[in-house]
Structure 1
C-alpha cells in the first residue's frame, strides 16, 4: 500500500525581486545633477498601513516636452531634450516600505482620442503576493491640465486625491496604499 501525500500548498510570487528584477540605473530616471531634477519618495503600505517590504516600484514617463523616444509615440520617436533622460526608473522598497525615484517633471502629452493628458508618471508595483503588477498614475498638484485629463476624469472625484503627489522639500511624496481606506486607484491595463 502506498502512502498518500498531501497537496502542495499554494505559493505567492517571490521573493524574486532581489534576484531578477534589479536594474543597473535603479531609481535614476535622470542622472544626478540634472537641472530641474527632483526626488519622488513615498511608502508602499498594505490595507492596515503596514510597510510592504521587498517590493518593486517601476516608473515610465514622457520627457519634459511630453515626448517618448519610442516608436509607439504617435508623433514619432525623438531623442529626449534632457541629457541622460531614460524615461524609466526601478526601485525596491526598503524595510519600512519606502521607495525613491530621481526624475524630472514630464510634459503634457496627447491622448489617443486627441485630448491632452496632464503631466504624470505611470507606475507599476510588483511584490510578493501580487500575481500581476498593479498600475497607477502619479499626477502633480496645481496642474491646470489635471481638470481635463481624460484618464483622471474617469476616476471618482472622491478618489482622485489618491493619484496626486504632495510637495516635499526635495521634490514630491506619493504613498501607495494597496487596499483599504484611501486605497490608491489602480488601472486595468
Structure 2
C-alpha cells in the first residue's frame, strides 16, 4: 500500500495492472511473527500475466449499502443509544499508482471496540463487549475516490505471539477496486501510538516510509466540534499500464 497526494480526473483504465513490488511489501516468512511460519509459501513463487478475470472486476452500486453502514457508532446500537468510546471520523482518498482516483471502490472496515475486544466468539481477551458496537461497516468511494466513515477509536489488545506482545490500536480495511487484482487488505494505525514500533507484525516491514504510510494522521480540519476528531488515511491500489503496441513503449 502506498499513499498519494496528487489528484486528477478519472480516466478509462486500459491494459493489465502493474506487477506487485516485492521489495516494498514485507517478506512472507517473518519468524518473529509466528503465524507467518505456517502461512508463508514453502516453494519459489511463479509469475503469471494478468487474466481477464483479474483485469475486470466487481461492480458495486450505492444500492448495496445500508443506511448506517458508514456509521459504526450507530449501526449496531439500540434505538436512542450509541457505542462507547472516543468518536472519530476516518476519511481519505483511494488512488491508483498513477495518483488517479479510484471511484466506486468498495471499502469495508472491521475493528475491536474501545476496550480492544472484537465481537467474535474466539476472542479470548477479558475486556468487556459493548452491546451497542458491532465493529464493522462499509462505504463506496465517490467519483473522486473519496470515502469517509464514523467509528470509535479501537483499543490496543494483547495477543499470544510472544510473552507480552500487544497490537497497536488499528482498523482493518478491505478494498475492491476496478478489478480483482486491485484487491487490498491492510490495517490503519494511529499517529503517536507507542505500540507501533514494538509490534511484530509492523516490524515485518523493512521500509520506514512504508510503515509511515500505514499511520493515519490527525486532521483537525475535518473534526466535528463537540463530537468527533478526524484522521486522514489515503490508500493506493495497483495501477494499470497500457498494452504495448509494436515499438511504441509509451503504450497504445
How many residues are aligned here?
Answer: 169
- What is the Cα deviation at residue 176 of structure 1? 0.2
Q: Is the 8 A contact 1:29 1:85 kept in 2?
A: yes
**Who wins on radius of gyration, i.e. which is larger?**
2
- Higher mean alpha-carbon deviation, 114-123 vs 171-180, is at 171-180
Q: How is 1:35-184 mapped onto 2 (pairs within 5 angstroms)?
A: 36-75=86-125, 78-80=128-130, 84-114=132-162, 115-131=165-181, 133-156=183-206, 157-169=208-220, 170=223, 171-179=230-238
- Residues 87-116 of structure 1 deviation map (CA, whole Å, 9 limit, x = unaligned): 011000001000111011111012231410
- What is the Cα deviation at residue 154 of structure 1? 1.1
The secondary structure found in structure 2 opposite 1:143 is coil
Q: Quick one: structure 1 residues 19 and 95, their matched pair in 2 at CA, closer, same or farther if it must change by over 3 Å?
A: closer
Q: Quick one: structure 1 residues 153 and 55, their matched pair in 2 at CA, closer, same or farther if it must change by over 3 Å?
A: same
Q: TM-score, normalised by structure 1?
A: 0.79
How far apart, CA to CA, are the structure 2 residues paired with 1:125 and 1:29?
18
Q: TM-score, normalised by structure 2?
A: 0.61
- Residues 61-103 of structure 1 deviation map (CA, whole Å, 9 limit, x = unaligned): 00111011211213379532xx632201100000100011101
Q: Is the 8 A contact 1:70 1:78 kept in 2?
A: no
- What is the Cα deviation at residue 131 of structure 1? 4.8
Moved segments of 4+, more than 4 Å:
32-35
Q: Quick one: structure 1 residues 143 and 162, their matched pair in 2 at CA, closer, same or farther if it must change by over 3 Å?
A: same
How far apart, CA to CA, are the structure 2 residues paired with 1:55 and 1:63?
25
- What is the Cα deviation at residue 13 of structure 1? 1.4
Q: Is the 8 A contact 1:63 1:87 kept in 2?
A: yes
How far apart, CA to CA, are the structure 1 residues paired with 2:126 and 2:183?
28
- What is the Cα deviation at residue 44 of structure 1? 0.1
- Residues 4-58 of structure 1 deviation map (CA, whole Å, 9 limit, x = unaligned): xxxxx9351132x117852442211112976621210010000111110010111
Unaligned runs of 5+ in 2: 1-50, 76-81, 224-229, 240-252
The secondary structure found in structure 2 opposite 1:144 is coil
Unaligned runs of 5+ in 1: 1-8, 181-189
